[in-house]
A and B are shown apart, each in its own frame.
Chain A
Amino acid sequence: MANTKEITKDNLLEVRNLKISFKTDEGIITAVDGIDFSVKHGQTLGIVGESGSGKSVSTWSIMRLLPKNSIIDKGSSIQFHRKSGKVVEMTKLKANSRELRKIRGGEVALIFQEPMSSFSPVYTIGNQIVEAVLQHRDVSKEEAEEIAVDMLDRVGISNPRQRFRQYPFELSGGMRQRAMIAVALSMNPSLLIADEPTTSLDVTIQAQILELMNELQEELGMSIIFITHNLGVIAQVADEIEVMYLGKILERGKTKEIIQQPQHPYTQALLEAIPRLDRLGERLTAISGDIPSPLSRPVGCPFYTRCEKVMPGICDIEMPKPTQLSETHTVYCFLHEEKDV
Chain B
Amino acid sequence: MTPTDLSPKETQAPINQMESEEAQRYYSATQFQLIWWRFRKHRLAQVGAIILITMAVIGLFAEFFGPYTGTTRVSDAVLVRPQAPQFCNDDGCTLRPFIPGVISERNPETLRMETKIDPSVRRDIYFFVEGEEYKLLGKFKTNIHFFGLKEGSIHLFGTDSLGRDIFSRVLLATRTSLSIGIFGVVIAFVLALVIGGVAGYFGGGLDYAIQRLTEIVRVIPVIPLYMGLAAAFPKEWSSTQVYFAMTLVLALVGWPTLARRIRGKLLSLRGEDYVIAANLAGAGPSRIIGRHLLPAFMSYIIVDLVISFPFMLLSETALSFVGLGLRPPTVSWGVLLQDAQTVRAIEQAPWLFIPAIFVVVAVLSFTVLGDGLRDAADPYQVSG
On A, residues with C-beta under 8 Å from B are 24-26, 29, 289-290, 292-296, 298, 305
In the complex, the answer to whether B383 meets A305 with C-beta atoms within 8 Å is no
Binds A, one of B16-24, B92-100, B130-138, B207-215: B16-24
Chain B residues lying within 8 Å of A296, measured Cβ to Cβ, are 18-20, 23
In the complex, the answer to whether A295 meets B18 with C-beta atoms within 8 Å is no
Determine the distance from Cα of A29 to Cα of B20 in the docked complex, in whole angstroms: 15
Smallest Cβ distance from A272 to chain B, in angstroms? 21
In the complex, the answer to whether B383 meets A289 with C-beta atoms within 8 Å is no
On B, residues with C-beta under 8 Å from A are 13-14, 16-20, 23, 383-384
Smallest Cβ distance from B37 to chain A, in angstroms? 13
Q: What are 6 A-B contacts defined by CB distance under 8 Å?
A: A26-B383, A289-B14, A293-B19, A293-B23, A294-B384, A305-B16
In the complex, the answer to whether B14 meets A293 with C-beta atoms within 8 Å is no
Chain B residues lying within 8 Å of A305, measured Cβ to Cβ, are 16-18
| Interchain CB contact (< 8 A) of A24 among B13, B16, B384 | B384
Smallest Cβ distance from A47 to chain B, in angstroms? 23
In the complex, the answer to whether B19 meets A25 with C-beta atoms within 8 Å is no
Determine the distance from Cα of A294 to Cα of B383 in the docked complex, in whole angstroms: 12
Chain A residues lying within 8 Å of B13, measured Cβ to Cβ, are 290
Determine the distance from Cα of A294 to Cα of B16 in the docked complex, in whole angstroms: 13
Chain A residues lying within 8 Å of B19, measured Cβ to Cβ, are 293, 296
Chain B residues lying within 8 Å of A290, measured Cβ to Cβ, are 13-14, 16
Determine the distance from Cα of A294 to Cα of B23 in the docked complex, in whole angstroms: 13
Chain A residue at smallest Cβ distance from B15: A290
A26-B383, A290-B14 known, 16 other contacts, Cβ within 8 Å = A24-B384, A25-B383, A25-B384, A26-B384, A29-B384, A289-B14, A289-B16, A290-B13, A290-B16, A292-B18, A293-B23, A293-B384, A294-B384, A296-B20, A305-B17, A305-B18
Chain B residues lying within 8 Å of A24, measured Cβ to Cβ, are 383-384
Smallest Cβ distance from B173 to chain A, in angstroms? 41
Smallest Cβ distance from A23 to chain B, in angstroms? 11
Q: In the complex, which of the residues B14, B18, B23 has the most CB atoms of chain A within 10 Å of its own CB atom?
A: B18
Chain A residues lying within 8 Å of B384, measured Cβ to Cβ, are 24-26, 29, 293-295
Chain B residue at smallest Cβ distance from A290: B16
Determine the distance from Cα of A305 to Cα of B18 in the docked complex, in whole angstroms: 7
Smallest Cβ distance from B116 to chain A, in angstroms? 58
Determine the distance from Cα of A294 to Cα of B17 in the docked complex, in whole angstroms: 15
Smallest Cβ distance from B380 to chain A, in angstroms? 15
Chain A residues lying within 8 Å of B18, measured Cβ to Cβ, are 292, 296, 298, 305
Complex A-B, nearest 9 residue pairs according to Cβ-Cβ distance, in ascending order:
A305-B18, A296-B20, A25-B383, A26-B384, A24-B384, A292-B18, A295-B384, A290-B16, A289-B16
Chain A residue at smallest Cβ distance from B20: A296
Smallest Cβ distance from A231 to chain B, in angstroms? 24
Chain B residues lying within 8 Å of A26, measured Cβ to Cβ, are 383-384
Determine the distance from Cα of A298 to Cα of B17 in the docked complex, in whole angstroms: 12
Q: In the complex, which of the residues B13, B16, B19, B383 has the most CB atoms of chain A within 10 Å of its own CB atom?
A: B16
Determine the distance from Cα of A26 to Cα of B22 in the docked complex, in whole angstroms: 12
Determine the distance from Cα of A293 to Cα of B382 in the docked complex, in whole angstroms: 12
Smallest Cβ distance from B257 to chain A, in angstroms? 29
Determine the distance from Cα of A325 to Cα of B124 in the docked complex, in whole angstroms: 93
Chain A residue at smallest Cβ distance from B383: A25
Chain B residues lying within 8 Å of A289, measured Cβ to Cβ, are 14, 16
Smallest Cβ distance from B242 to chain A, in angstroms? 50
Determine the distance from Cα of A26 to Cα of B23 in the docked complex, in whole angstroms: 12
Smallest Cβ distance from B26 to chain A, in angstroms? 11
Determine the distance from Cα of A209 to Cα of B14 in the docked complex, in whole angstroms: 36
